[in-house]
Amino acid sequence: MASLPMIRFLDRTTPPHIITLVLITGMSALNMSIFLPSLATMTTYFNTDYAIMQISLSGYLAATAVLQVFVGPISDRFGRRVMVLGSLLIFVLATIGALMATTVETFLFFRIIQAAVATCMALGRAIVRDIVPEDQAASMIGYVTMGMALVPMLGPMLGGALEQAFDWHATFVFLALAGMATFALCYFDLGETVAGKGTSFSDQLASYPELLRSPRFWGYVLCAAFGSGAFFALLGGASFVASEIFGLSPVWSGIAIGAPALGYAFGNFLSGRYSVQFGINRMALIGTAITIAGLGISAILTLADVVHPLNFFGFCVFLGLGNGMTLPNVMAGSISVRPHLAGTASGLGGAIMIGGGAALSQFAGGILTVESGTLPLQLLMLGVSVLAMLSVLFVVWRERRIA
Residue 2, pLDDT > 50, answer no
Model confidence, pTM: 0.79
Percent of the chain past pLDDT 70, that is, above it, reads: 85
Alpha helix segments (H runs only) across 279-374: 280-303, 309, 315-336, 342-367
Q: Print the domain residue range for 105.
A: 12-201
- Residue 183's pLDDT is what? 94
What 8-state DSSP symbol labels residue 8? Answer: -
Spatial CA neighbour of 191 closest among 382, 397, 13? 13
Q: Which of the four pLDDT bands, split at 50, 70 and 90, describes residue 66?
A: confident
> 376 Cβ partners below 8 Å, 6+ apart?
367, 368
Please check whether residues 173 and 284 belong to one and the same domain. no
Q: Quick one: average pLDDT of 30-39? A: 85
If one counts the domains in the chain, the total is: 2
Please check whether residues 269 and 314 belong to one and the same domain. yes
Number of Cβ within a 10 Å radius of residue 188: 13
Please check whether residues 234 and 328 belong to one and the same domain. yes
pLDDT in tens, 289-343: 999 999 999 999 999 998 899 999 999 999 989 988 888 888 778 777 776 666 6
pLDDT in tens, 90-134: 999 999 999 999 999 999 999 999 999 988 877 776 776 667 654
- Residue 337's pLDDT is what? 74
Please check whether residues 254 and 401 belong to one and the same domain. yes
Residue 7 lies in a domain: no
At residue 207, the 3 state secondary structure works out as coil
CA–CA dist 365, 265 (Å, integer) = 26
pLDDT in tens, 8-27: 667 666 777 778 888 888 88
Residue 2 lies in a domain: no
- Residue 123's pLDDT is what? 77
Please check whether residues 125 and 240 belong to one and the same domain. no
Please check whether residues 44 and 171 belong to one and the same domain. yes
Q: At what angle do helices 315-336 and 215-240 cross, to 10 degrees?
A: 150
- Higher pLDDT residue, 164 or 72? 164
Please check whether residues 235 and 97 belong to one and the same domain. no
pLDDT in tens, 201-255: 676 677 777 777 888 889 988 998 899 889 888 888 888 888 888 988 888 888 8
- Higher pLDDT residue, 335 or 370? 370
Spatial CA neighbour of 211 closest among 393, 349, 403? 349
Q: Are 120 and 91 in contact (CB under 8 A)?
A: no
Phi-psi region of 281 (alpha: psi -120 to 50; beta: other; left: phi over 0): alpha
Please check whether residues 57 and 136 belong to one and the same domain. yes
Please check whether residues 393 and 270 belong to one and the same domain. yes
CATH number for position 70? 1.20.1250.20
Q: Burial-class residue 180 by CB neighbours within 10 Å (0-12, 13-18, 19+).
A: middle
Q: At what angle do helices 375-402 and 315-336 cross, to 10 degrees?
A: 30
- Residue 140's pLDDT is what? 57
Please check whether residues 143 and 223 belong to one and the same domain. no
Q: Are 259 and 150 in contact (CB under 8 A)?
A: no
